[in-house]
Amino acid sequence: MRKLLKGVHNFQTHYFTSHRELFERLCEGQHPRILFITCSDSRIDPNLITQTEPGELFIIRNVGNIIPPYGATAGGEGAAIEYAVEALGVKHIIVCGHSHCGAMKGLLQLGNLTEKMPLVHDWLKYAEATRRIIQENYQDSEGEDILNATIEENVLTQIENLKTYPSIHAKLYRGLINIHAWVYKIETGGVYVYSAERCNIQAEHEEESQESENSYLSPLLQTNRF
């Protein structure tokens, strides 16, 4: 706590002072153009990764960057999506997974969570489609490869869930909103941008340059890296 209190003091005496005009504008209202959906993992900081200022991103964070389908639950995700789209008028939605995701590790061994973490077990059921895709299409993968594939496929599963929301569906139909699929690599700082639609292109796993760790490309995904 001492570190946090010191941080608050430093924020007030340095950052806030030098950005006073920004905060004066923000107190009049928020006008983000991007809804950023990502994991609660403490290693993920959307503003740090994207180098954005307060007020630029509207952020939803939860275990596994999961979006339950429309009407499946009365949780806060649906309300936040509806508010971002209808009240704030966001133009872009990013669903961002990340490497070494504990939620996706849990998804791969879902039965083990029943006793110790029953709420996590129930929450991960909203990623059941991801688990089935991995189970039926990645029989030859194991270890880090299957975890990485799960992380990637889950981003697309959650985008499919996102499209079940009437407000999203209507705006996609009119071309008023764009959805993006990202995966952030903690170990390299890289961000992989995938096609937001599953495709039939079969791609081999690729290796990055010697400057970074090995990467992979899921067979059902197209990707670019930056």
Tokens of 118: 């029953």
Question: Lowest-pLDDT range, 40-44, 121-125, 142-146, 184-188?
Answer: 142-146
The alpha carbon dihedral of 157, 158, 164, 170 has a sign of negative
pLDDT in tens, 59-110: 999 999 999 999 887 779 999 999 999 999 999 999 999 999 999 999 999 9
The pTM of the full predicted model, rounded to 2 decimals, is: 0.85
In this structure, are residues 20 and 78 in contact, taking their beta carbons and an 8 Å threshold? no
CB burial readout 108-135, b (16+ within 10 A) else e: eeeeebeeeeeebbebbebbebbbebbe
Confidence (pLDDT) at 210:
33
Which pLDDT band, with edges at 50, 70 and 90, does 226 fall under? low
d(CA 136, CA 139): 7
Q: Which is it for strands 191-194 and 178-184: parallel, antiparallel or unpaired? A: antiparallel
Pick 196 or 162 by higher pLDDT: 162
Q: Quick one: angle between helices 128-137 and 143-162, nearest 10?
A: 130
In this structure, are residues 38 and 44 in contact, taking their beta carbons and an 8 Å threshold? yes
Q: Is the pLDDT of residue 23 over 80?
A: yes
φ, ψ at 139 (rounded to 5°) = -65, -25
Q: Classify burial at 83, counting beta carbons within 10 Å of its beta carbon; exposed 0-12, middle 13-18, buried 19 or more.
A: middle
The mean pLDDT of the chain is: 87
In this structure, are residues 46 and 72 in contact, taking their beta carbons and an 8 Å threshold? no
d(CA 168, CA 216): 30
pLDDT in tens, 157-181: 999 999 999 999 999 999 999 999 9
Q: Is the pLDDT of residue 31 over 60?
A: yes
Tokens of 98: 């990340």
